[in-house]
Structure formats: C-alpha cells, structure tokens
Chain A
C-alpha cells in the first residue's frame, strides 16, 4: 500500500541499482607513490640547504639537528601512504572472501590514511619550499635578511624608536575607541531632525575609509604645520609631530572602528531595546546599559583586528620624519647595506601583536563560558 506521498518509483524510476563494492587498490598505489615523491622532494631540499650552511661550531650543529629532525618527521608521509596501501589490500582480500562489511571498514581505513598523506604531505612540500628558499643563491637570502649581528648591535636605538610607535598607537587607540563609538551612535540618531548629523557621520566614514592612511598622514602631518593650523602651532616640533601623527591615524582608524561599532550595535536584536524601553529606561539609558555593552562584547575580535592594523600602520609615520623603529631601521640599513634591521623591526612588531591576539581569544572564550551554558 503506497500513497502518492511515499511513492519512491515516481521519484527515481527503477534505476536505483547500488554500485558494487570495489576495493581501492589502485588509488592506494597512487597515493603511496605521491607520499614517496613528497618525502623525496623534502629530503632533496634539506640536502640542498645543508650545502649552503657556511657556519661552523654550534650554529652548524644546531642547523644539522634541525635538518635531521625534520627529515625524520617527514617519514610520517610515506608511512601513512603505506598504511593506506596495506588497508586497501586487506580490503581486497576481505572482499574476495565475501566479507563485504569488513572490506568496507578496511576501505575506510585507507581513506583515513589518505587524509594523513594529504595533510602531512602538503605540509612537507611547504617546508621543502622554505628550505630551498633559504638555501637559494648560496644562502644569500639568510645573509641579507636574517643576519642578526646587525640589529643586535643597535637594540637600544631600535627600542627607543619602537617606544614612539607604542606611544602613538596607545594614545590613538584610546582616542579611536571613544571617537568611533561617538560616530557610530550619531549614525543611529533617529528622525528627520537628526538627519544632518547622520549625513555628517556617513560623510566622515566614507571619506576616511576611502583615503589611504599614508595620504592622510602626509596631508595632516605636513599640511597642518605648513598651513599653520591653530592649536598645533603652539607645540614644540617633536610634540607637534607626535600629536599630528596621532591625529592622522585616529582619523583613519576612527572611520574603520565606527563601522565596526555600527555593525555591533546593529547586531543587537531590537527585542533587547524593546525590553529595556518597556521597563521605562530612556533611549540613552538603553544604549548605555543594554545595547552598547552587548555590542562591545561582540565586536572585540574585529576591533582588535583594527587595532593590530593601527599598530602596524604606525610604521607609516616614518615617512614624515618621526624617528620610529622603522625610520631608525631604514637609516641603519642604509649605513650597513643589510636588511636584517628591518626584519628585526618586523619581529619587534610581532612580539607585540601576537600576544595581543592570543589575549583577545582568551577573553572571548572566558566571556562566552561565563554567559553560555556548556
């Protein structure tokens, strides 16, 4: 008894034959071959790299240990390829013996092994490329970009420069946090009376999100003193440079952060506002106690993203003569014709940005754990 709702033949006809089981032996041979090729490429790259090592003593020993360790770890690729091959052959034997269910399990073992070959194998290829890259041109890459003697001799100078970067982004971040929220809230002002204010806020964000930060820095930091803009002319030269740099970066990042805030405020469901208003809270109280606190929690990751961008973009102020870490590294590079100064500057930035991202991840997790069950 079949009704129209449950009629299967109407959906597919009578052609739904199940394909017979086929053990994946050929695939397994191919994958095993690929895993061996990946290993061979990596081992060749390591051997090539080793030939360019021109150090001795501890440096050489350390390098060799690393090479051997990577070479041994890479054996995992063909080992998994072999596991897949064994599983596929087992599957074939079981299928011949008529135990199809176990044959399917063995075939699945093969597929699992293939995933390991893919994951480990691709990693091995990337590592092989890195070994080749850092060994290419007889190790010239390492000498030009990673010769740590150069920056290590000028650490105090570089850190004095970085201290300026830190001051600029710290002050700018505080300003941007407040300014961005203000712009975002202005965009939410309702009614016709608020229209001009809303337009101003929209014009500001469109303008400063659309102009490269570098141009804003040039225009503000060079332009304001030339035009003798009041307020800034009374400052000393260094202070003026510093505050104008802060202003330029705040203007640019204020526009980004305002958009982040706006997305956060928009993401709070209107029912939250309704609930707050229904309790007698005013529009401002609702924003202050209900909407903004929830929005801020949600936008911490994108906000931090913009802050990392801001921290990195403090490097741009080097073009207008601020003696930040990038400027100092560039000067030293010019003296010694070695780019490791800039690599060193890059590392200093990393030391700051990576812990910050980790910290935010931790804060987000903690907040979620506190507010959500499970």
Chain B
C-alpha cells in the first residue's frame, strides 16, 4: 500500500549549494511527522518543495498517488490540498484578521463572502480569537498572529498541513498557545508534517520523527526510539547538543 505523501529521492540546490540530496520520506494519513535537524539541514526547503513554493531538481513527490512535483502540475490546486504555516506568520498586514482568513476561500475556492466569513468566525472562535476578527495583525501578539495564520491555512480545508518552525519566532511564554492548537489538530486526525526545534513537543505529538542531516533523512523512527536510543552518530551528537542547551 502506498502512503498518502511520498517523497522519493528529492534533490534541490540553490546555485552550487545542494540543500536536499536525495530525501526519502513517507507520511500516512492522520500521521504527525516531525522533521528535526540543525539549522540549514533542509527542513524548511523540503516543506516548501512539497507545497510547490520551490521547484525540485530531481526525484518526485506524490500526494495520494498523484505526481505533484515537476512540470505540468497545477500548483494552485496542490496548494489547496497542502496548507503551510510559516515561522514568521506572514499575515497580510493591510487586512484584518477576518479578511486574512477569508481571502483565499473567496478568491480561490469561489465561496460566497458570507459563507466564508461564517466559516472563518467558527474557526476563530475555536482558537479563542473571535473577538480579534476586525483587528489588524500588527495589533496582535506573536502567538495570536501565528494562531490566525494556522486558521488561515485551515480555512482552505487542506488534507495535509505543513508547519515550518511555527514557534521559533515566538517569545517563550507564547509557544504553548500555538502548540495547543497543533495538539488539538493532531487529536482530530489532521495529517501534519512539521519542522520543529521543540523536541519535547515533537516527542509528545508525533507518530514518527525524522532526523534530517546534510540534505538526507539520516534516521527515522518512532519518537521514543529517536529520542532515547538514536543509532546514527549524527543524531546522537545533535541530540547531545540539544540536551547541553537544556532544550530537551
């Protein structure tokens, strides 16, 4: 049986710098897969390739058995299926929270405005931000902005959600409110692939952890195994540094 998301020996270079040198990764439906690894190991690039924001140089990505990388792919359709949330939120500063959330459903899916607004309000209410619907993003805290960004992606009804270090730009006391939403999504069975530095969270929420190093998946397995008995020496030294920094 094939997986929901299949990444087969994906290569990606920026100029002479090869960031991904043959990444293989499978994600099943309702799985939460965490990508860990040092900065520059290619986590973000991989997520951006899956979403079609970066074209890949070699290999193939398939979603539900359909090729979604390379030429001739309808990226606008792909992005309706695969949502992404960024480290720096990237909300549209000239739009209110509600406008941020309804823009794509109205313009891309052609939903009637009233309906899109209703759905957006339901989503905002679930994350406790219904009262901020008419505020502009700059008036919200980082944690609130990131929660809105998650809702903006969810409003498109994606089947796969990519989370790119979504708590890295947040003050420590704001991390929990964002992670709680991700936890809730995991419980609801949302398929997610997340790049993260929050090892404790990765250990708790994920079904599978992948250690990315030098552009390849150096080791993967269930969280207990990766965090307790890593076999690859690179994984061991990476986790040792994390423990030294008191982050695990």
Q: Do A and B bind each other?
A: yes
Is there contact, CB below 8 Å, between A280 and B92? no
Q: Does B90 contact A (CB under 8 A)?
A: yes
CB contact list, A258-279 vs B, under 8 A: 271-272, 274-279
Question: What are 7 A-B pairs with beta-carbon distances under 8 A?
Answer: A271-B90, A277-B79, A280-B80, A280-B104, A280-B156, A370-B136, A371-B138
Alpha-carbon separation in the docked complex, A280 to B81 (Å) = 9
B76 touches A280 (CB 8 A): yes
B69, CB-defined interface residue at 8 Å? no
With A279-B153, A370-B136 as contacts: A272 and B90 at CB distance below 8 Å: yes
- Cross-chain contact A371 with B76 (CB below 8 angstroms): no
B90 nearest CB neighbor, chain A only: A275
The distance from the CB of B141 to the nearest CB of chain A, in whole angstroms, is: 10
Q: Which residues of A contact B94 (CB under 8 A)?
A: 293-294, 297, 371
From B152, which residue of chain A is reached at the shortest CB distance? Answer: A279
Across the interface, do A285 and B90 meet the contact criterion of CB distance under 8 Å?
Answer: no
Min distance, Cβ B207 to any Cβ of chain A, angstroms: 24
Q: How far is the CB of A348 from chain B (nearest CB, A)?
A: 37
Q: Give the 8 A-B residue pairs with the shortest CB-CB distance, closest first.
A: A275-B90, A279-B104, A280-B108, A280-B79, A280-B80, A278-B84, A373-B139, A271-B90
User: Is A102 an interface residue when CB atoms closer than 8 A count as contact?
Assistant: no
- Complex: A102 Cα to B135 Cα, angstroms: 50
Q: Which residues on A sit within 8 Å (CB–CB) of B109? A: 280
- What's the nearest-Cβ distance from chain A to residue B218, in Å? 28
CB distance from B195 to the nearest CB of A (A): 15
Does A366 have its Cβ within 8 Å of any Cβ on chain B?
A: no
For A371, list chain B residues within 8 Å (CB).
Answer: 93-94, 136, 138
A271 touches B79 (CB 8 A): no
Say yes or no: A279 contacts B93, CB within 8 Å. no
Chain B residues with CB under 8 Å of chain A are 48, 51, 53, 75-77, 79-80, 83-84, 86, 88, 90-94, 103-104, 107-109, 136, 138-139, 152-153, 156
A365 at the A/B interface (Cβ < 8 Å)?
Answer: no
A280–B136 alpha-carbon span in the complex (Å): 22
Question: With the chains together, A294 CA to B95 CA distance in Å?
Answer: 10
Q: Cβ of B88: which chain A residues have Cβ within 8 Å of it?
A: 271
Interface of A: prevailing SS: helix
CA distance A275 to B139 in the complex (A): 19
* A154 is an interface residue with CB less than 8 A from chain B: no
Chain B residues with CB under 8 Å of A278's CB are: 51, 53, 79, 83-84, 86, 153
Which residues does chain A contribute within 8 Å of B104, judged by CB atoms? 279-281
Chain A 288-305: CB-based contact to B (< 8 A → 1; otherwise 0):
011001100100000000
Is the Cβ of B138 less than 8 Å from the Cβ of A279? no
Are A290 and B92 within 8 A (Cβ)? yes
CB distance from B88 to the nearest CB of A (A): 6
Residues from chain B with a CB closer than 8 A to the CB of A281 are 76, 103-104, 107-108
In the complex, what distance in Å separates the CA atom of A278 from the CA atom of B83?
7
CB proximity of A274 to chain B, nearest CB, Å: 6
Task: Check if A228 is an interface residue, CB within 8 A of chain B.
Answer: no
Interface residues of A in 307-343 (CB under 8 A from B): none
A136, CB-defined interface residue at 8 Å: no
Q: A279 and B79: CB pair below 8 A?
A: yes
A288 CB to nearest B CB, Å: 9
**In the complex, given contacts A274-B86, A371-B136, A373-B139, what are 8 additional A-B residue pairs having Cβ atoms less than 8 angstroms apart?**
A274-B53, A275-B92, A279-B152, A281-B104, A294-B92, A370-B136, A371-B93, A372-B138
Query: Nearest B residue to A293 by beta-carbon distance?
Result: B94
Measured between beta carbons, the chain A residues less than 8 angstroms from B76 are: 280-282
Question: Can you name the residue of chain B whose Cβ is closest to the Cβ of A368?
Answer: B138
A-chain residues with CB within 8 Å of residue B156 when the two chains form the complex: 279-280
Closest chain A residue to B107 by CB distance? Answer: A285
A294: chain B residues at CB < 8 Å are 92-94
Which residue of A is nearest B89, CB measured? A275
Residues of A within 8 A of B77 (CB): 280
Q: How far is the CB of A325 from chain B (nearest CB, A)?
A: 39
Asked whether A289 lies within 8 Å of B103 as measured between CB atoms, the reply is yes
Say which residue of B75, B86, B107 sits within 8 Å of A275 (CB atoms).
Answer: B86
By a CB distance below 8 angstroms, the chain B residues around A290 are: 92
How long is the Cα–Cα vector from A280 to B107 in the complex, in angstroms?
9
Nearest Cβ distance between residue A301 and chain B, in whole angstroms?
Answer: 16
Which of B77, B86, B91, B92 has its CB near the most chain A CB atoms (within 10 A)? B92
Could you say which residues of chain A place their CB within 8 Å of the CB of B79?
A: 277-280
Complexed CA–CA distance, A274 and B44 (Å): 13
- Are A277 and B53 interface neighbours, CB within 8 A? yes
Residues of B within 8 A of A373 (CB): 138-139
**Given A278-B83, A279-B79, A372-B138 in contact, is the A272-B92 Cβ separation under 8 Å?**
yes
**Residue of A at shortest CB range from B80?**
A280
Contacts of A276 on B, CB cut-off 8 Å?
A: 92
Q: Which A118-161 residues have C-beta < 8 A from chain B?
A: none
Known: A280-B76, A280-B156, A294-B93. A271 touches B86 (CB 8 A): yes
Interchain nearest-CB distance for A373 vs B (Å):
5
Residue from A285, A294, A371, A372 with most neighbouring chain B CB atoms (10 Å): A371
Residue A274 contacts which of B90, B107, B138 (CB distance < 8 angstroms)?
B90
Q: Which residue of B lies closest to A276 (CB)?
A: B92
- Cα-based distance from A294 to B100 in the complex (angstroms): 14
Using CB atoms, name the residue of chain A closest to B78: A280
Hey, which chain B residues are within 8 Å of A297, CB to CB?
94
